[in-house]
Structure 1
């Protein structure tokens, strides 16, 4: 029997073979908050019947079912692969690094068609009974990462789902010895792609990757459920860089509207040989939209530069993970 509060909750995920077909969880995520919920559309008969003052409950019907919500996490050295694959789109097989026990995942930006998840959450009743809710056909519509001075690297994933199934058996949760990435491990670099150098004065970084999709594919013959969402707009990657004004590097890029490659990297504990736990976002072409320095008092000038990532014509944005995991 679990604890009858959020302390007894769990969240498991699995990559689906077929969109919307339940797959038992293969990984369990340590999350900080979630809002996944069934969303239903109903219609009520309005037929007039002499003397009837209320609409008949038997004449209310469910015309659409879907699921929506977000999951907030601390980004850790293990268990991130399936979420990042669903966000970025590339089918990834971890590559063993030399003869070590370290494996590299390279998640390059691609179409997310065929990348859906089953997400099962366990919600505890106050008596300790955990109710399973399995969300199928979960497509990532956005992922946002953020880290500030003194804090953890956090991630927030927004999902659109096909349905919620409450008949599946609650999977038994198990957890690896995960370690969170944090500000003390953070580096930010800019410059020409492949030869970026460290930026000084950075206090906080954020990056949001949006995957616009047509989530309204409700057709006849689908039993009120949608077909797999399809990309219907270009990917949007935006973020911000909060800093102290210690150099003019970012200021000059804002003035000239020049492009720079941006590498945001976290280096954790040693796995083996020269390979460490690593989480790295590479944006080959970034332009600064706003945020030139202004003086608003006696203190240190602290500009916040907002940026947009674009295509440099050759290199796609990517997220790389080095971990001890041989499979996602």
Structure 2
């Protein structure tokens, strides 16, 4: 019997073979918070009938079902591959590095057609009985990564789903030994693509990747359930870099509206040979939107530079993930 609170909760994920097709979770993640829930649209019959003061309960119908919510979690050195693949779109097979236990995943930005997840959450009653809520056809429509002084690298995944099924058998959760990436491991680099150099004075960093999709594809003959969302706008990449004013590198780029490549890297312990645990976001071109430094009293000047991520015409936006996972 589980603990009758959030301490007894679990979330498992699995890549689907087709949009909305249940696949039993075999991988379990450790969110800090989640908000996935069923959303239903109802219609109420309201015909005039002499003496009837309240609409009939029997004539209320559910006309649409879908689900949505978010997952907040730390970015860990294992078990992130499926989520990254669903966000970025490229089908990824981890590549073994030489003959070591290190495997590199390279998630290149691509269309996300055909990439969906089954997400099953176990929600404990106070009695300790864990109830099943299985979300089918889960598409990641945005992810925001952030890390600040003294903190962990964290991410919020926004999710759109086809339906919530409460009839599945709750999978038995198992968890690998893993650790979060954190500020101690962080570096931020800018410059020409492939030869970026470290920025000094960075205190906080965030990058958000948004995947706009047509999520209201409800058609006749589908029992009130949606068809797979389709990309319907260009990907939006934004972020911010909070610094102490130790150099004018970003300030000058704001003034000139010049472009620079951005590499946001977390390097963890060595897995084997020269291969470290690693999580890296690469954006081939960013331009600084605001704001130049301002003097706000006696303290050290602390500008926050907001930026937009763009395509340099050659190199893709990508997330690289080095771990000991031999499969997503």
Q: TM-score range by the shorter chain?
A: over 0.9
Deviations 1:35-65 (A, max 9, x none): 0000000000001111111111110000000
Q: SS at 1:252's partner residue?
A: helix
Aligned residue number for residue 19 of structure 2: 19
Match of 1:100 in 2: 100
The 5 Å alignment of 1:54-93 reads 54-93=54-93
1:134 alignment partner, SS class = strand
SS at match of 1:194: coil
Classify the secondary structure of the residue corresponding to 1:193: coil
TM-score of the two chains, using structure 2 as the length reference: 1.00
Aligned pairs (5 A) from 1:240-251: 240-251=240-251
Whole-angstrom distance in 2 between the partners of 1:279 and 1:57: 54
**Cα offset, 1:133, TM superposition:** 0.3
Residue 235 of structure 1: how far off its partner (Å): 0.2
State how far apart, in whole Å, the 1-side matches of 2:209 and 2:26 are.
25
The residue number in structure 2 matching 1:198 is: 198
Per the TM alignment, residue 99 of structure 1 is displaced from its structure 2 partner at its CA by 1.2
Distance across 1 between alignment mates of 2:184 and 2:229: 39
Secondary structure, in 3 states, of the residue corresponding to 2:181?
Answer: coil
Q: Which residue of 2 aligns with 1:137?
A: 137
- 1:257 corresponds in structure 2 to 257
Provide the rounded CA distance (Å) in 2 between the counterparts of 1:24 and 1:77.
23
* C-alpha deviation, 1:301, in angstroms: 0.3
How far is 1:168 from its partner? Answer: 0.1
Alignment of 1:163-174 (within 5 A): 163-174=163-174
1:234 corresponds to: 234
Deviant stretches of 4+, over 6 Å: none
Runs of 5+ unmatched residues, structure 2: none
Could you tell me how far 1:291 is from its partner in structure 2?
A: 1.1
Tell me the residue number matched to 2:154.
154
User: Can you give the 5+ residue segments of structure 1 that lack an aligned partner in the other structure?
Assistant: none
Measured after TM superposition, the shift of residue 11 of structure 1 is 0.4
Residues 112-145 of structure 1: per-residue CA shift (max 9 Å, x gap): 0000000000000000000010000000000000
Q: Distance in 2 between matches of 1:169 and 1:49?
A: 45
Q: CA deviation at 1:206?
A: 0.2
TM-score (ref. length: structure 1): 1.00
Other structure's SS at 1:87 match: helix
Number of corresponding residues: 328
CA distance in 1 between partners of 2:279 and 2:26 (Å): 22
SS class of match (1:255)? helix
- Measure the CA separation in 2 of the matches of 1:84 and 1:26: 17
CA distance in 2, matches of 1:150, 1:128: 35
SS of match in other structure, 2:155: strand
What's 1:208 paired with?
Answer: 208
Return the alpha-carbon distance in structure 2 between the equivalents of residues 77 and 178 of structure 1: 6
Q: Separation in 1 of the partners of 2:289 and 2:324?
A: 38
How many Å apart are 1:81 and its aligned residue?
0.3
